[in-house]
Amino acid sequence: RPETADSATLVIKPGWGFTADHLPGQYIGIGLLVDGRWRWRSYSLTSPPRTASRTLSIAVKAMPEGFLSTHLVSGVRPGTVVRLAAPQGNFVLSDPPPPSVLFLTAGSGITPVMSMLRTMVRRGQLNHSDVVHLHSAPTEADVMFADELRTIGGRHHSYRLNMRSTRTDRRLDLSR
């Protein structure tokens, strides 16, 4: 599913024996057979844990030097068999989440935070935390999940989104 001109969400239905359990913010390894060779990379999960459909999702931004990312964004047909490594990583959302959260994200770095936000929405936790999200991307057209982020902001008073275009607003200066 396209997200921007150079990124896409891939929805994966794990096969028998693979646990779909993960913590919001973790990543998985994904292997794809390309030209007779298995290519592996790790991508942050964007789905909340334990979905009813037992699917996982990742979002991939095609990088000019990234062979697999380009292939995943533009060349994978539905039904393609992939290999998965178990979820891992310790950049995770606590349960319950803290009373105040600040997300600073840029470009495709938003992907683990999407799993966290989707989890908070699903668990009904978003209105119990004060969440400020500052996201930057080169242009508004480059913001992955832009419509969904705006929808979350419109439905949940405690979620405040500030999107910055680095081409017009420059990069975030943490000292300011």
pLDDT at residue 20 in the model: 66
Per-residue b or e along 6-30, where b marks 16 or more CB atoms closer than 10 Å to that residue's CB: bbbbbebeeeeebebebbbbbbbeb
The confidence band for 176, taking pLDDT boundaries of 50, 70 and 90, is confident
Percent of the chain whose pLDDT exceeds 70: 98
In the predicted model, is pLDDT for residue 73 greater than 80? yes
Percent of the chain whose pLDDT exceeds 90: 73
Expressed in percent and rounded to 5, the helix, strand and coil fractions of the chain are: 25, 30, 40
Tens-digit pLDDT profile for residues 79-130: 898 999 999 999 999 999 999 999 999 999 999 999 999 999 999 999 888 9
Residue 68: closest CA among 100, 107, 35: 35
Can you give the pTM of this predicted structure?
0.91
Q: Span 41-51, mean pLDDT? A: 91
The confidence band for 19, taking pLDDT boundaries of 50, 70 and 90, is confident
